[in-house]
Structure 1
């Protein structure tokens, strides 16, 4: 279960990242980290895992009316690898591959192989006191539920790639400076059979270049404060969407409240500005047979020419009172690039937990609520609520049986955009 956030959790330089109570890995996490590699070639360690899943989805198109249900077969392969070139230099590669086969609606079968957003190639090395990380993350996804402002679509086929360089300079024991550059691309490969036109998906193709800097100070062993700043250049492929720029700047605090609890809080000013009005309705207007003057008048009325100038907040608190239970609460208010609008203002709150009920049984509930508004004269205002329950039974260190349930409900002010969805997923996972 994931709320609608950036596809990559840290696509934004200030994106929320998991915080570890106690800062270091727990005994359990250290064992899990070591255990995921099951064979080696020289200094290269590998881990392979295979899984199969059977999903039942009662609303695969996220539709208000004409709901369609289906069973879906989902095999998966995960590969993790690590090469410790030296004590200070490490190369990591991990990839998750999967496929979706619909039993009754084969038109929604995966077009190729799905690549998990967690897939990454990263190299860490040092030059003096500066730690460098060069990384590239690529994914191919088709699900639509994690994009809040999409309804009436079963497939949103897109490639995403994020490449970047980040430096971490420990200037002294208290002062640290993080800085870097990211290049992000989104390419759609849409061939849909739903009520959302192909043109709407093609309008999403874009590149975003971001430079960021994040100085911070360790006030005491428990508290680190700093300032985060980033500037982005947004370049859309389609001329119907206007290019833009993004600015984000604000202070943050990381607070180790206790051995078991830590907190992250960031807030400040965020701006998204665009070079002119974007035309999201050109494809529909061209089919009306209007004269040039009438068509221009309609376009001018429907153009999205709003900019966003507001505040942002990102908050997260983690608590792990024992080796068997941890939970987390997070809240954020941000402006993001929209789907059928220049931008979307999104409020999100979520809670999730992991509970080891017995030696071999784990239970994981999660819930989220989000409220969003989109820019433009036909802007949408909507709420989404989601909840999920997950059970994992470990027959052995290698074989795991999973059962998951997820519910999502959306209420929109626009006609035909409401929906609810129930999903049940049964999985079997084998780690070599």
Structure 2
């Protein structure tokens, strides 16, 4: 967001040059050099692809962290579910023109001045354990249909209107209650779906945008239970500005209003509204590196009282430094300050001890009544009066017990609807460092590490230290091998659901293009989660096999198999899952 056309063109040129030889640019998919490298000029408001190309080539997302609330480089426990299969937006200044998982950047229709990319995806899946149960698995067939539209209209040289959206529906044929949204038909809008209007006013670029997504999200780090996964509608609307103050200095400002709404009533406590203002001032003295300052303020308001309303702010510095033609360093660091309201006062009206005491009195009276025999009593009248009095006391206590039980249920509902996180303030540092290096035309790798705090769903905030490393390798012609590993130590801020979790894992993906039409893919994932809470540890192994066949330039089909096995400390959470997938992509 802080860097614009000139800087990114220089960075892209450095990246392109690192993958070229006298024969031109190396095609990683085909395993050969193809054509001469040429500089690329980007139209008004179009986003650089540098970071996303790097992220995709290494099988990782690339998301800014530190300065902007909710935008985290962390993979686990990320409310935005960024570790999903779809690329996330890295900035509001290229509204996501490139969120096209089917089109691969193609614009296949032109209606007058409007360029349109139109793609269709259909898929069918059989899943033998959609509820992820080790004791009572439920199988189902799932079908999905998605449309991808990527269009732009250059109104004038200074104005552009852009639309990028991928949306569709999933249908669970037999058990829709296990779908993320709990509906027969589940609407999905991929992250990054955006309507944006770019306009240049003098030296200032304004972007007015509205970004929408409907997607699954995870309530906690421990997402084995399907009850921890829920559907979320999120809408971000805002105005961003980039002002080239001179040839070396640029100012960026962004205002964003974000509404996040759970699609199931059971998770309505996560509904929230966030208003954010962020800004950065970038200085590029020689045209090769950039330094600057950044800051943001966000106001968080929850519809319910599960988590506490608050204000978060941060300020820091950043550096973008091409160390060599093939090595780029990106680093940022600074200070974060969070202030949250105190949780609402809550005192139980009725405790378990109160109910036990009332029940004990009832039992005692029952024993007294059982010991009275009116027929054999020396004074039957007095005995009868005593028995009636005991029965009246019993009736009163029974009414009292019923009222206590009702009140206890109400107290339980109130207690469950609040996190009771009393940690209302944070003063801490943040830093994020990413180092990308293209060793040669065949090998690239990337290291990222950092420390940051961000909003959480089960507590006010979460503080984490993380490190990720990934390497991409052209092992032989037509092949690509990517291997990545990650580690994270995360700590909830507090409350009745507070948890400290360590997570680490390894991912590997090998793809091989047998010919111009046929591509094979083989993947593996291992993940391990250690919690400070008893019975919350688990590890997972996942395997994938994919075959893709291109019938022609417009259509390709694929079949795939997925196997997931989970070994949990709580044996009730252990399960195996098999998935068989068929898909078809068609570009009009």
TM-score category, normalised to shorter length: 0.7 to 0.9
Alignment pair present for 1:222 and 2:342:
no
Q: 1:49 aligns with which of 85, 106, 119?
A: 119
For residues 189-247 of structure 1, the C-alpha deviation after alignment (integer angstroms, 9 at most, x for no partner) is 116xxxxxx2xx21110011011121121132222111111111001100343210001
Distance 1:143 1:214, change over 3 A: closer
CA RMSD of aligned residues (A): 4.0
Name the residue aligned to 2:68: none
Alpha-carbon shift at residue 168 of structure 1 (Å): 0.8
- Distance in 1 of aligned mates of 2:346 and 2:152: 45
Which of 270, 273, 276 matches 1:210? 276
- In the other structure, the counterpart of 1:21 is none
Give the aligned partner of residue 508 of structure 2.
Answer: 389
SS, match of residue 142 in structure 1 = strand
Residue 245 of structure 1 is matched in structure 2 by 311
- Confirm or deny: 8 A CA contact 1:55 1:424 kept in the other structure: no
Kept in 2, the 8 Å contact 1:234–1:245? The answer is yes
User: Which of 28, 31, 37 is residue 107 of structure 2 equivalent to?
Assistant: 37
1:95 aligns to 2:169 (yes or no): no
- Matches of 2:187 and 2:413, distance apart in 1: 42
Cα offsets for 1:244-272 (capped at 9, x unmatched): 00011011111111222211111111122
Please state how far the C-alpha of 1:39 moved relative to its aligned partner.
Answer: 2.3
Query: Distance between the aligned counterparts of 1:391 and 1:98, measured in 2?
Result: 29
61 and 224 in structure 1: CA distance in 2 versus 1, 3 angstrom threshold: farther
How does 1:133-172 map onto structure 2 within 5 Å? 133-144=207-218, 148=221, 150-153=223-226, 155-172=229-246
Partner of 2:544: 424
Aligned equivalents of 2:136, 2:426: Cα separation in 1: 35
Question: Could you tell me how far apart the structure 2 residues matched to 1:232 and 1:99 are?
Answer: 33
Judge conservation of contact 1:380–1:412 (CA < 8 Å) in 2: yes
The answer on whether the counterparts of 1:368 and 1:387 sit within 8 Å (CA) in structure 2 is: yes
Provide structure 1 residue ranges, at least 5 long, that are not aligned to the other structure: 10-14, 19-31, 192-197
Aligned with residue 251 of structure 2, among 156, 177, 181: 177
> What does residue 421 of structure 2 align with?
304
Contact 2:503 2:528 in 1 (8 A): yes
2:473 and 2:125 mapped to 1: Cα distance? Answer: 24
Measure, in 2, the Cα distance between the counterparts of 1:424 and 1:280.
49
Cα offset for 1:61?
5.9
Q: Which runs of 5+ in 2 are unaligned?
A: 1-59, 62-74, 83-87, 92-101, 353-403, 546-559, 561-581
Structure having the larger proportion of residues in helix? 2
Specify whether residues 430 and 16 from structure 1 end up closer, same or farther in structure 2 by C-alpha distance, changes over 3 A only: closer
SS in structure 2 of the partner of residue 118 of structure 1: strand
- In 2, are the aligned partners of 1:37 and 1:80 still within 8 Å (CA)? yes
The question of whether the paired residues in 1 share the 8 Å contact of 2:131 and 2:178 is answered with: no
The TM-score, its normalising length taken from structure 1, stands at 0.78
Contact kept in structure 1, 2:307 and 2:459, CA below 8 Å: no
Whether the 8 Å CA contact 1:279–1:302 is kept in 2: the answer is: no
Displacement after TM superposition at 1:347 (Å): 2.1
2:11 is matched with which residue? Answer: none
Residue among 506, 526, 529 paired with 1:410: 529
Tell me the CA shift for residue 396 of structure 1. Answer: 8.1
Structure 1 position 232 matched with structure 2 position 232: no
- How far apart are 1:419 and its partner, in Å? 3.2
Query: TM-score, normalised on structure 2?
Result: 0.59
Structure richer in strand, relative to its length = 1
Q: Report matched runs for 1:214-363 at 5 Å.
A: 214-277=280-343, 303-306=420-423, 307-322=425-440, 324-357=442-475, 360-363=478-481
1:157 is displaced (CA, Å) by: 1.0
Which one of 482, 493, 512 corresponds to residue 375 of structure 1?
A: 493
Higher-Rg member (1/2): 2
Aligned counterparts of 2:209 and 2:138: Cα–Cα separation in 1 = 39
| Count of aligned residue pairs for this structure pair | 401
Report if the CA contact (8 A) 1:90-1:123 is conserved: yes
CA distance in 2, matches of 1:261, 1:33: 30
